[in-house]
Structure 1
């Protein structure tokens, strides 16, 4: 059933979407494997290089202590107050621990998502919000879920289950009193999972840029974002008697309530997501800052895992102007992070409104196939970085390995504290393929983004 968007949002439909065949991954994935798309990853799977890009010119010389007990004193720096200067190369253990922690909150979205078509909770969370963390095996995380978040799309396609097309996409949680003592502030956390349903797949194909227009008092038509992500963020089911409001309405309402409730405490707002979820997190962060929902003293940070580009260069610049802090955790071998805008992106100086651009500071995890020339002692990187075989790039097994959320967490866990580690013959994709036990689920990621790639000029 089609649904309406907020009146102040312009949604551009993707051309000829109906010509693409609709794929139901549930027809090919065994029910026993539906609950998890993650390969069985063991420790020490790779070595990494950590690099930083888009670093602002004026930064302080803050240096965060490596001791985890120092988090209450240094949490603002870990949340990006100084754009993570001196914390990324080499990766500071305190920041490393926080990235892993927020990554686990995102992983909980996947663990709690019900993909069993015979279940009454199909395409919703399997557990009550009061028990969700306990049920996924993380009862001592120090947070309590306050609200579940649902997403829908204004796209007329066959509905997967029942009359509503809203699907559970994540949750909002708040740190407990005990956790406040450990981390140094009351943390309002929002997490999002990645793409699963029909409508989400098709929304991902809507690669045209559309004006965000999230602030009704100042629409700023030059600030544009990917139409599909905007559609998911703003579409609602208000024409349905029992339908939900838009993802945006749900999020802003609950965050506003929590900000009022804890207004006399030291607060932070942390948004974390994987793949499509990181795009929703960035849209939410921009929205919160643009409409002035939070006080200026409350830090707003996005931890983006495997995120694609979301908006144009004007969107990037506006996020920076508003003080939105974004740490992009990227596997260098993950093609999803290079989309959309393979050609027209931030590297071009012309057509700025039509060019996609990444937002924030980039933490690149890179598995090097390198060796040391014993005669000269020079480190030689044997990867081909400029000429990419697209058929190799989009192999189904590779997508399964390099885009997976658990792979990202394991790479962060094993990221060296030096900027580069010398190790011979390491090939992440090959290594993960050997450990992989299922290769069906991410087939649909590969198919979706191959089609998307052909649509982005």
Structure 2
């Protein structure tokens, strides 16, 4: 009888066959599945939630790989925080005849709803006032003005965000006294850590420091806002209170501190971020460090290289949303800055230096030159995903080509030192005329 039992192959032949098969399958997969892998990665970017990547959105890895192209979640979060800053402008009482002139029109419980952000998912806990200690018009000199608010995410919003978010939202320049303070562009020691005096080389713009640290002698509103201390005192007290209280009540929750500001407000946010981290007030009840992130919209430079280095050491993350055509983002330090080279590099230690990572944008409306610094235009451009792209000439009535040629001419003139000085003077005049800081 013939046996039907097959002979078992030796182990060596099995191993060799498996190796060949595996190599063949891998090669085939590489040829046929690479497009599918790319689609899968794209799909992952689109379906990722804030909760699943909130630390990256807050800058844990300096937004590496999230800005070019702009990640949808980052885009939505940057636009969302921009709108929360925009609320400051919508509810500010700018009527000189009003008893609440330069204060918020509404109470804390209804302010976001009145600003058109009813579903924002935050509860406002404190209003913030600033008092420029500079010589200005009698109507504004020495008077407090409402500059923004502190809020905390609701339970529902906390679930969506993946953490409890303490938010500080700050507006840009409005009053003449604030404008006068902005023009105080000399660098001076920050003096925010006098108790320890460990970092005397850290310098910031004197005008922003004045706004941040000056106290009110009298109030702008007919309400009990006098004697509340400086903008700094108000912010430090409220942010540290919220961080401590919520970490005690919800010890298992993650937490973040988000400081969002436009123009002058972004400078105040930058000073606050540095201050909180330097004083250790961004630690919760158990001693864990709460991440501090600044979202700056059209923000100017704030301090010198030592200020930047110290912010980096302290782990303060900064995302600067900057329109390349916005002159405010080039000030102060239009001539001497972090990009200074050659024989001027010797002054680098006293040069203004940007902090953080830049999200570059490019937009312009020729019929409205001030739009290059407008917060609403910033938010609209973010939502339209125009970051890093050239502006649409058709949107300006076909005149974009003329402006582009003018810009090319200006860029060519910058090659000469004399032209640099002239450009700086013209830029300063433009900013002063439009009052954009």
Normalising TM by the smaller chain, what interval? 0.7 to 0.9
Aligned length: 351
> 1:420: how far off?
5.0
Deviates more, 1:263-272 or 1:93-102: 263-272
> What is the rounded CA distance, in whole Å, between the counterparts of 1:291 and 1:424 in structure 2?
48
Aligned residue among 347, 350, 375 for 1:354:
350
Matched position secondary structure for 2:63: coil
Whether 1:108 and 2:90 are equivalent positions in the alignment is: no
Name the counterpart of 2:256: 268
C-alpha spacing 1:217/1:113, structure 2 compared with 1 (3 Å) = same
Pair 1:171-2:165 in alignment: no
- Asked if structure 2 preserves the Cα contact closer than 8 Å seen for 1:99 and 1:303, the reply is yes
Could you tell me how far apart the structure 1 residues matched to 2:398 and 2:271 are?
A: 31
Q: Could you tell me how far 1:428 is from its partner in structure 2?
A: 9.7
What TM-score do the two structures reach when normalised by structure 1?
0.71
Match of 1:88 among 67, 74, 91: 67
How far apart in 1 are the matches of 2:42 and 2:293?
A: 19
Q: CA deviation at 1:64?
A: 11
> Distance in 2 between the 1:423 and 1:239 partners?
48
Q: Provide the residue aligned with 2:311 in structure 1.
A: 319
- What is the correspondence of 1:15-94 to structure 2 with a 5 Å cutoff? 65-67=44-46, 70-94=49-73
Whether contact under 8 Å (2:304, 2:352) holds in the other structure is yes
Counterpart among 242, 253, 274 of residue 286 in structure 1: 274
How far is 1:425 from its partner?
6.0
- The two structures, once aligned, show a CA RMSD in angstroms of 3.0
Match of 2:181 among 197, 203, 215: 203
Cα distance in 1, alignment partners of residues 105 and 364 from structure 2: 39
8 Å contact 2:364–2:371 — kept in the other structure? no
Distance 1:347 1:64 in 2: 38
Q: CA deviation at 1:237?
A: 2.5
Deviation (angstroms), 1:422: 10
Secondary structure at the residue paired with 1:326? strand
SS of 2:346's equivalent in the other structure is: coil
Q: Give the C-alpha shift of residue 352 in structure 1.
A: 2.4
Q: Is the 1:314–1:352 contact (alpha carbons within 8 Å) kept by the matching residues of 2?
A: no
The structure richer in helix per residue is 2
Seen in structure 2, the aligned counterparts of structure 1 residues 165 and 425 have a Cα distance that, compared at 3 Å, is same
- For the Cα contact (< 8 Å) 2:362–2:386, is it kept in 1? no
The 1:254/1:367 distance shift into structure 2, 3 A limit, reads: closer
Q: Report the CA distance between 1:414 and its aligned residue.
A: 1.1
TM-score, normalised by the number of residues in structure 2: 0.74
> Is the 8 Å Cα contact of residues 189 and 203 (structure 2) preserved in structure 1?
yes
How much does 1:167 deviate? 0.4
Is residue 278–residue 314 contact of structure 2 (8 Å, CA) maintained in 1? Answer: yes
Cα displacement (A) at 1:89: 0.3
Which of 153, 171, 180 is the matching residue for 1:193?
171
| Post-superposition offset of 1:218 | 2.8
How do residues 127-146 of structure 1 correspond to structure 2 at under 5 angstroms? 127-146=106-125
Distance 1:68 1:138, change over 3 A: farther
Q: Structure 1's 118 and 180: CA in aligned 2 closer, same or farther, altered over 3 A?
A: same
Structure 1 position 256 matched with structure 2 position 240 = yes
1:77–1:157 distance in 2 versus 1, CA, 3 Å: same
Is the contact between residue 367 and residue 427 of structure 1 (CA under 8 Å) also seen in structure 2? no
CA distance in 2, matches of 1:403, 1:422: 15
- Counterpart of 1:335? 327
Give ranges in structure 2 of 5+ residues lacking alignment: 1-40, 401-426
1:297 Cα deviation after fit: 3.2
CA deviation profile, 1:359-415 (whole Å, cap 9, x unmatched): 00001112499xxxxxxxxxxxxxxxxxxxxxxxxx9941x2110000001111112
Q: State how far apart, in whole Å, the 1-side matches of 2:104 and 2:382 are.
A: 27
